[in-house]
Chains A and B, each alone.
Chain A
Amino acid sequence: GESVGLHLPTLSVQEGDNSIINCAYSNSASDYFIWYKQESGKGPQFIIDIRSNMDKRQGQRVTVLLNKTVKHLSLQIAATQPGDSAVYFCAERGDSSYKLIFGSGTRLLVRP
Chain B
Amino acid sequence: GAGVSQSPSNKVTEKGKDVELRCDPISGHTALYWYRQSLGQGLEFLIYFQGNSAPDKSGLPSDRFSAERTGGSVSTLTIQRTQQEDSAVYLCASSSFRYGYTFGSGTRLTVV
Contact = CB atoms under 8 A, between A and B. Distances in A.
Interface size class of B (residues with CB under 8 A): 20 to 34
Nearest to A1: B44
Interface string B93-112: 10100110111111000000
A97 B104 CA distance: 21
B1 interface: no
A83 interface: no
Nearest to A43: B103
A102 B59 CA distance: 13
Interface of B: 4, 31, 33, 35-36, 38-45, 48, 50, 56, 59, 91, 93, 95, 98-99, 101-106
Interface of A: 1-6, 8, 32, 34, 36, 42-46, 49, 89, 91, 93, 97-105
